[in-house]
Amino acid sequence: MKRYRGYLRTHLAELAARPVDEITEAHLVTWIRGMQAAGASPKTIANVHGFLHGVMATAIRQGQREDNPCNGRLLPSKASTERKATFLTVAEFELIEAHLPEDERPLFRVMLETGLRLAEATALLPSDIDLDAAVPVLHVTKAWKQAARGWIVGPPKTRRSTRTLGLAATTVDVLRPALEACRPDELLLSNPRGSRSIPKHRQRLDAWTAARTSAARDETWPAWKTPRIHDLRHSHAALMLGAGMSLYELSQRLGHESIQTTADVYGHLLPDAQRRAAATAASVFGR
């Protein structure tokens, strides 16, 4: 609700002032062009358009209008204007990691080695971890999200985001000290400088940016390359694909709602896919 009120206030002020049955496709076209002129990203336009589509669908159900002017609207393409993912090697990550405060390092290392979203990693409790199983695992069952009354813990982003991840030995080594130092009701990957009962996302973002800036200042990191925290998730995906994980397995590990999402974002990281397809076809058809 807080986000939707923000849409109305920031992006839909002119349309929101009109009776719902008077809004036409022409109004939608003008609105989209205005958003583009104001510098809104394609993702922002799509998000607000999705909200507006829902408003119109509700109006139809309530008999306030007969059609949905949002249907068939061609939205701006993300391809040319959306910021691309930055993929880090383990060695590149470690250049930034060396500039992080000691108590921040476990969070970012776990994110790189598991592909967890920031909101998922900061919501982990000791009960979500089983390091002594035959295969050590981490259970993703919740995530932080912003509500009208502040940050709350709720279900993960989507139904498929609820998942269990097998952990590498290096991840176990990072998590075990945190697990031993943590009370059952405490956040596993919090730190002494922040509250142990809320995620302090802004603090984590600031810590990552400061470390990256410090590495650039020391000339151990190129200043033009500015990976975000979410790029740790992208980097995990790239590293897994490079090691031979299939797109289906990666989709399950990342908690994507559809394998198509995984293919759209990471399919280009499979340079051998066409070669393998050609070799398979040759074996089938006899050449």
Q: What is the mean pLDDT of residues 26-41?
A: 88
Q: What is the mean pLDDT of residues 66-94?
A: 79
Integer Cα distance of 234 and 240 in angstroms: 10
Residue scoring higher pLDDT (284 or 106)? 106
Mean pLDDT across the chain: 87
Q: Which residues contact 199 (CB under 8 A, 6 or more apart)?
A: 118, 119, 122, 123, 144, 151, 187
Among the listed residues 230, 229, 238, the one whose alpha carbon sits nearest the alpha carbon of residue 97: 229
Phi, psi torsion values for 185, nearest 5 degrees: -100, 10
pLDDT at position 286 is 67
Q: What is the pLDDT of residues 90-113, one digit of tens each?
A: 999 999 999 999 989 999 999 999
**Res 191 pLDDT > 80:** no
Radius of gyration for the alpha carbons in the chain, expressed in angstroms and rounded:
23
**Percent of the chain topping pLDDT 90:** 50
More confident residue, 158 or 229: 229
Q: Which residue has the higher pLDDT, 195 or 203?
A: 203
Indicate if the pLDDT at residue 21 is higher than 50.
Answer: yes
Q: State pLDDT tens for residues 107-120.
A: 999 999 999 999 99
The whole-number pLDDT of residue 102 equals 92
**pTM for this model (two decimals):** 0.72
Strand partners, 138: 129, 165
If we measure between CA atoms, which residue out of 236, 116, 106, 120 comes closest to residue 174? 106
Most confident option among 78-87, 146-155, 244-253, 262-271: 244-253
The residue ranges of DSSP E strands in the chain, in sequence order, are 129-130, 137-140, 143-147, 150-154, 163-166
Q: Is residue 112 within 8 Å of residue 237, measured between CB atoms?
A: no
The set of residues, in sequence order, having a beta carbon less than 8 Å from that of 76 and lying 6+ positions away, is 32, 36, 42, 45
User: What is the tens place of the pLDDT at every residue in 200-237?
Assistant: 777 888 999 999 999 999 988 898 889 999 999 999 99
Neighbours of 185 (CB within 10 A): 10
